[in-house]
Structure 1
Amino acid sequence: MSRTALDALCDWIGLTDRFADSTGLEHVAPDETRRAILAALGLAAETEDDARDQLAGLETAEASRLAPPTLLASAYAPLTLDPRVRRWRILCESGEQRRGEGSVRPSGLPVGRHEILLEGAGREDRVWLLVPPPEGAPSVKALTGRARLWGATGALYGLRSGRNGGLGDFADLGRLAEILAGKGASFLGINPVHMLGSSDGGLYAPYSPSSRRAVNAAHVALDLPPEWASLPEALKNEPPPASGELIDYRAVHAWRAPRMTALYKAFAAEASGERRQAFADWRQARGEALERMALYEALAETHGPSWPTWPEALRRPDSPEALAFARTHAHVVSRQAFWLWIAETQLSEAQARAKAAGMALGLYLDLAVGVRPDGAEVWADPESFLRGVSLGAPPDALGPTGQRWGLAPFDPLRARATGYAALTETLRASMRGAGVLRIDHMIGYDRSFWLPDGLPGAYLRQPLPELLAVVAIEAHRARCAVVGEDLGLLPEGLRESLAGAGLMGYRLALFERGETIRGGEFLPPESYPEAALAAFSTHDLPTLAGWRRGREIDWRAKLGDITPEAAALMREERAHERWRFAEAVAAPERVPVLGEEPEGHDLEAAEGAHGFLARTPCALAAVQLEDLLLQIEQPNLPGDVDRHPNWRRRSAASLEDIAGAPGVNQAAALMAAAGRSEQKAGRPAEET
């Protein structure tokens, strides 16, 4: 078949027309999908002539430049520049400048994002220069002096305590870190805590944030700010919503809202000059990006959390009407900025508590893959995002039917033209207060799956070396280790590229199989790589107890996603998988079928699984809080929004009881025996 102008344009952009899913089935993206994605990129190609003209324009623009818009430095070779370049000037982030003629050798340049002014052929081009650290992102050993550590991961929103307002908060986070540090843990991982946006509590999915550049104020511990003492006794003493197994976010919001309003009023009326100055200094340091986030939240109070439904005049942050609102409602904008300040401050304080308690790394934070198209970040920085397409994934092990996430992708053409400024700001914000950062869906840094509205999806190739350089630069700057979630349909060579940039990958015991994910033998722990985080499962997969029972199979059957016949076959296969895993962990099963099990058997299974993780050579071993507490239900069922209670489950035990939970002490002992524990000499494991 002859190649068309549409094919040639897609090749230039990196848009593929075919791919294979996890079953090996090949998919061919229809021309409608490719044209819709090109249109989102600003490249209308409805006809062959259109496609030919767009490609000619791109090629002409590229040929006229003295260099690509972003260059990646190597310490071992000069930059590749157009021979027409006569003079150059490097503007370093620090303000230092370097000048020269001819070739540019980046050796000796500081790590960072710098600008280069190139002169030649009667023109001047301004391009970006990425100078990553030679060693990549810092390793666990470089940061801690230890090669193998362990920690726990769990849901912040689900933490129970005797003092929170129905939703886990940053004070709970600091306390849990102290408890686990006393058991020898070196890190504590949580769900993303990005800003979700003002609402009545209806927006709570942590992987669908309004902005990844600000912290979610819903997790602020209201009783920590000094203004709490000034609140009326009625507000301080009224109990929060009753705690059931599931979180009622609207009830929590209704309880918190008047207290947050009263706390800001107390700050505005009574705060000391020093405290006011600290807020003003923070606000100034965060700059225009923060002001736009706060303005968005102020507008959302009146017009709702989705900006496309606002009056037309308010749909851009720089419109005269939006700027006028900021002036006339300065007190509302200030109140929103105040809560973003408190949220960021309390998250940093939780990290300080973790480190002070002995955690070598402290908090292990999570960067979501994208933001909602109708949220604050797209409104505040509209040029950085595309409309009409959603990020997602084709059918794979995490989502057997494929996934459409409803998240806006970065514009890759603008990203390169700006030296990845938006990604840099996102990473910088996410690494504040983190000892480790997990980057969700790292596959998207190699190729991202885009789904136009109402159409099937296709892959768009990404500039992986440049994106990894940006990650390494910011990790180096923040002294933060990085875990890239590399699960799903892996492009060839991706894991090697991540390792070369200093990033750790993921190794899930559920997926580490000898032949295929379904049916193969579980690989032994010594086969796992060092540069990885080892875990049994994730928030998107069954808990250990749930997996043993086939609970996710039950849910899929209940929701009609699979037939009863398919469910029966999957349950039969699960029984065999349990036997295989028992052999891998050297803890033979006593109950060879699914269904009812004797009391206490989940604890025995957890001993085998966590001992298995402890024996891997991976730099990090993570145990899930749900597995430490022997919970059956998983936090999230991918691909489902309303039918399964995603992101609403509470922890099975309160903070006051976690320290004495048998699964917690059992895992701590296993990790200590394997040499992973950070427990201080003379400090008993039971001490909290």
Structure 2
Amino acid sequence: MAELNEESPERLARPLIRLAQSLGVATSYVGMSRDFHEIPDDVLVAVLKALNVDASSEETIEVSLEHVNNQRAMRLIEPTVLHIVGEQSHVPIHLAITEAPKVTITLEDGTIYQHDIAVEPLPDVKVHEVNGKFFSTAQIALPADLPEGYHTLHIAAGQREADATLISAPQRIPLLDPLKNGSLWGWMAQLYSIRSADSWGVGDFADLRTLLIDSKRYTNADFMLINPVHAGEPVSPLTPSPYLPVSRRFINYTYIHPEDIPEYYALDDAAKQSVKDAHAKMEAYNADPNLIDRDAMWLEKEKALRTIFNTGLQSVRQQAFDDYKARCGEDLEAYATWCVCYAKWGKPENTPDNWINKYTKDSPEVKQLREQNSDLLEFYRWLEWIAVEQMHAAQQAARQAGMKIGIMSDMAVGVHPDGSEVWWNPERFANGATVGAPPDMFNQQGQNWSQPPLSPLSLKETGYKAYREMVRGMFDCAGAVRIDHILGLFRLWWIPEGQPASNGTYVYYDHNTMLGILAIEADRVGGLIVGEDLGVVPSYVQQSLADYAIFGCAVEWFEQMDGVFIPPKDWRPYALASVDNHDMPPAAGYLEYEHVRVREQLGLLGEDSSAFERSARAEHQAMLQMLVDNGYLDVNVMKDESGRWEEIVEALYRALNSSPCKLKAVSFVDAVGERRTQNQPGTDNEYPNWRVPLADYHGDNVPLEHLFDSDLLQRIAKIMNS
């Protein structure tokens, strides 16, 4: 730790430090407690290696630094350029002193922009000599009237030509009319946990459609935030965590409801009966209040889906399927091929002889496997198409029911290191690093999330195509997208392979371009973006989000300062407000210290268990005091809480609804009195993370058919509609 909160001039002059900073790798940072850290050389060398930059010796550092500087001096234009609609932009280009450039723009629709693009000299331009040639910098003046979209900027200069992806983004995401002078409220649901009599033991897309329609009909809600539904494995065991997907580009097809597939009705009697028999085996699971069993579900559901797939498609449906495959292109081939490899060769594991390390997408063995299993390959393509159809239908049903937003989909931070995205396109990811968080007061060793980070260099070189396609895919089936850990669009904590989480550093991303992509995709569907910005967030991040009209998050139990809760009426308007989240118990459980009990039971508190309990009780009392002081709760309830948890929960939501936040969310778990948390941070199989079905205060299963009969739910809905 340095004595001053800045690096010395001597350190900044070192070639390694200059190389790292030139590539967006932080060489120091200020921690959560305002403590200053300088990054050790070995960490910088390892992170640069993950970016395919050699810094292993003084000689290679000098060579790499010279290469980076020369490339920038010689390159006609950066591969990705951001433009803001309605503003004139200036983009630097690098020309040899004898070159006279010509600039054209091909718009996203294939037409040529019909006005001249000016190239302007820069004053006081320095001339750089590279390999005996002299280069200087000029700038392109991009006109204000360029339309929104993804265009191609073409430059011809002498014998050189270059194309750049031109991302033309709106200044801000347009605010929905109801939000301009008011707010909207909706529900938060862990989709898998809410089952109906027609479910297959796990909540599915048919249940989601019903949830959306009934939420509007019985409570007048306008959106529903659901857990991530990114793609997963093709065979058991299925990963419980929705935040560790195989691919963020596609949807988890285990949420398909077989009986909602049109081809189900074309089955002959025997085939249809086989589907019914498979469903019957899962009926008992729908009423189990203790545990979600995804593997049992998929064992039966996959067989039913194969039966339906085998019946084939009529011409109109076949054309729709073919169109879908054409739109998805190689991305779909990547996921479907990975699924076939998994199904035939087994689970990917980090061993030298495992297929995930032994073969690439171009290996002859993979090509042969695809040819030998063409029907299975088509089955996985078909599953993805059906999943998209059913989730899209749920969103359409929500809008037809009158919801202003409908589905709010959750985007995970990253993907599984052995998933399809990393295997098929390893060049898009850092090789030899994972994402996490530095040490702080809550996690003194830091956190390692075991997910490979996207390479900022690859994103820029490819025009952010993978990111664009992922966001677009999510908005195909949603009216809003919530981005988990949106700070990751600005910087991510990279941890070199084999190092503890504390031995990492931040790597910076071009957040303006990524926010511009979010703005384009949201604007195209009349949607909105919510960024999970809880914890310590630099002021420039909050300002950037506000500039684009991206909503942050406010959690009632987290909105406190020095042990005193901030009244919701003083919160910021541009936020999605909630009482709690999935990493803590629901309101009833939190009020009864479920988080203390579970952590003690699992041995997560060590010798500090008594201190943690005292802290939890002090926090509890401080919350009640805020509720009483602001008129949300009767003081007599605070004096004697026994049996009065429902009154406190209602008070929490009265407080929430008094906030100026334009988006407000109610958890179904709060509304039925559930006490168990969905996810206990710091655990894996020690706790049934992401496998807790929806139950009431007494531990009884709450089926979808009776969900909106809850008196507490209706009282909370009345509060939110007041």
On whether the aligned pair clears a TM of 0.5, the verdict is: yes
Distance 1:312 1:203, change over 3 A: closer
Q: C-alpha distance in 2, partners of 1:539/1:399?
A: 18
Amino acid at match of 2:87: Y
Cα distance change on mapping 1:590 and 1:376 into 2, 3 Å: farther
Q: Distance in 1 between matches of 2:677 and 2:45?
A: 39
Secondary structure of the residue that 1:89 maps to in structure 2?
Answer: strand
The answer as to whether partners of 2:439 and 2:446 remain within 8 angstroms in 1 is: yes
- After the TM superposition, which residues 68-467 of structure 1 pair with which residues of structure 2 at under 5 Å, given as runs? 68-74=78-84, 75-82=86-93, 84=95, 86-98=101-113, 99-102=116-119, 103-120=140-157, 122-134=159-171, 136-141=172-177, 147-182=182-217, 183-229=219-265, 230=267, 231-237=271-277, 238-240=280-282, 242=285, 243-266=288-311, 268=312, 271-306=313-348, 310-311=354-355, 315-396=359-440, 402-455=446-499, 456-467=503-514
Q: Cα offset for 1:371? A: 0.6
**Separation in 1 of the partners of 2:340 and 2:604?**
41
**Secondary structure at 1:81's aligned position in 2?**
strand
d(CA) in 1 for partners of 2:349 and 2:117? 48
What is the SS of the residue equivalent to 2:91? Answer: coil
Deviations 1:241-273 (A, max 9, x none): 53241112222222222212212112x2xx322
**Offset of residue 192 of structure 1:** 0.5
Give the Cα–Cα distance (whole angstroms) in 1 for the partners of residues 715 and 355 of structure 2. 57
Are the counterparts in 1 of residues 232 and 238 from structure 2 also a CA contact under 8 Å?
Answer: no
Normalised to the residue count of structure 2, the TM-score between the two structures is 0.87
Amino acid at match of 1:194: H
**Higher mean Cα deviation, 284-293 or 407-416?**
284-293
Take 1:109 and 1:528, find their aligned partners in 2: how far apart are those partners? 37
- Does residue 665 of the first structure (1) align with residue 680 of the second (2)? no
- Alignment check: 8 A CA contact 2:226 2:410 kept: yes
| Counterpart AA for 2:374 | A
Is contact 1:575–1:592 with CA below 8 Å preserved after alignment?
Answer: no
Distance 2:452 2:526 in 1: 29
Q: Secondary structure at the match of 2:239?
A: coil
**Equivalent residue, structure 2, for 1:507:** 554
Alignment of 1:540-619 (within 5 A): 540-564=583-607, 566-585=608-627, 586=631, 587-588=633-634, 590=636, 598-599=642-643, 601-619=644-662
Shift of 1:483: 0.2
* Aligned amino acid, residue 610 of structure 1: Y
Q: In the superposition, relative to structure 1, how do residues 662 and 394 fare at CA in structure 2: closer, same or farther (>3 Å)?
A: farther
CA distance change for structure 1 residues 21 and 312 in 2, over 3 Å: closer, same or farther? closer
> Which residue of 1 is the match for residue 571 of structure 2?
528
Distance 2:680 2:504 in 1: 21
Q: Which runs of 5+ in 2 are unaligned?
A: 1-7, 120-139, 696-701
Larger relative contact order (Cα-Cα within 8 Å, sequence gap ≥ 6) = 1
Counterpart pick for 1:19 among 14, 24, 29: 29
- The answer as to whether partners of 2:196 and 2:704 remain within 8 angstroms in 1 is yes
Deviations 1:441-495 (A, max 9, x none): 1011111111122212211122121221111112112321100111123123211
Q: Structure 1: which amino acid aligns with 2:294?
A: Y
CA displacement at 1:307 relative to structure 2: 7.2
* CA separation of 1:397 and 1:280: change in aligned 2, threshold 3 A: farther
CA deviation after TM superposition for structure 1 residue 380, in Å: 2.6
SS at match of 2:674: coil
Distance 1:427 1:312 in 2: 26
Say which SS state the counterpart of residue 223 (structure 1) adopts. Answer: helix
Shift in CA distance, 496/215, structure 1 to aligned 2, threshold 3 Å:
same
- In the other structure, the counterpart of 1:683 is none
AA matched with 1:358 = G
Deviations 1:562-602 (A, max 9, x none): 234x2222222322322222232331565669xx9633x22
2:336 touches 2:381 (CA, 8 Å); kept in 1? yes
Equivalent position amino acid for 2:221 in 1: A
User: 1:622, 1:434 → 2: CA distance?
Assistant: 16
Distance in 2 (alpha carbons) for counterparts of 1:667 and 1:302: 50
Deviation, structure 1 residue 332: 0.8
CA shift digits 1:89-126 (9 cap, x unpaired):
11211112135442423311111122211233642222
SS at match of 1:326: helix
- 1:676 is aligned to none
CA contact (8 A) 1:387 1:408 kept: yes
The answer on whether the counterparts of 2:624 and 2:638 sit within 8 Å (CA) in structure 1 is no
Q: Match for 1:404: what amino acid?
A: N
SS in 1 for 2:170: coil
AA partner of residue 82 (structure 1): I
- Residue type matched to 1:236 in 2? K
Q: Which runs of 5+ in 1 are unaligned?
A: 674-688
Q: Which moved more, 1:240-249 or 1:521-530?
A: 240-249
Q: Contact (CA 8 Å) 1:160, 1:654: kept in 2 or not?
A: yes
Aligned partner of 1:223: which letter?
A: E
Larger Rg: 2
Which deviations, in whole Å up to 9, do the C-alpha atoms of 1:282-322 show, x marking residues without a partner?
22222221122212212211012427664479732233332
Alpha-carbon distance in 2 for matches of 1:422, 1:272? 33
Cα distance in 2 for residues equivalent to 1:15 and 1:591: 53
Q: TM-score, normalised by structure 1?
A: 0.91
| Cα 1:155–1:78 shift into 2, 3 Å | closer
Indicate if the aligned counterparts of 1:397 and 1:488 stay in contact, CA closer than 8 A.
no
Specify the code of the residue in structure 2 equivalent to 1:212: R
**Native 8 Å contact 1:443 1:487 kept in 2:** no
Q: CA deviation at 1:37?
A: 1.1
Is the 1:113–1:419 contact (alpha carbons within 8 Å) kept by the matching residues of 2? Answer: no
Contact 2:589/2:595 (<8 A) preserved = yes
Corresponding position: 1:631 with 2:674: yes
2:663 counterpart residue number: 620
User: What is the distance in 1 between the residues matched to 2:474 and 2:442?
Assistant: 24
Which of 476, 484, 487 is the matching residue for 2:534?
A: 487
Aligned residue for 1:678?
none
Q: Offset at 1:140? A: 3.2
* Cα distance in 2 between the residues matched to 1:345 and 1:186: 22
More divergent stretch after superposition (634-643 vs 415-424): 634-643
Q: Which whole-Å CA distance do the structure 2 matches of 1:352 and 1:345 have between them?
A: 10
C-alpha contact (below 8 Å) 1:198/1:305 kept by paired residues: no
Q: Deviations over 1:61-81 (max 9, x none)?
A: 001123322222243334132
C-alpha contact 1:283 1:290 (8 A) present in aligned 2: yes
Question: 1:610 and 1:663, CA in 2 relative to 1: closer, same or farther beyond 3 A?
Answer: same
Partners of 1:272 and 1:367 in 2: CA distance: 35
Deviation string for 1:419-453 (max 9, x for gaps)?
Answer: 21111111111111111100111011111111122
Partners of 2:158 and 2:318 lie apart in 1 by 54
Task: State percent identity of aligned pairs.
Answer: 30
In the alignment, what sits opposite 2:42? 32
CA 1:140–1:509: 2 relative to 1, 3 Å: farther
Structure 2 letter corresponding to 1:526: K
Q: In the alignment, is the contact (CA less than 8 A) between 1:543 and 1:626 conserved in 2?
A: yes
Q: Measure, in 2, the Cα distance between the counterparts of 1:597 and 1:228.
A: 53
Map Cα deviations across residues 302-360 of structure 1 (whole Å, 9 max, x no partner): 01242766447973223333233323321111111111011110001111121122211
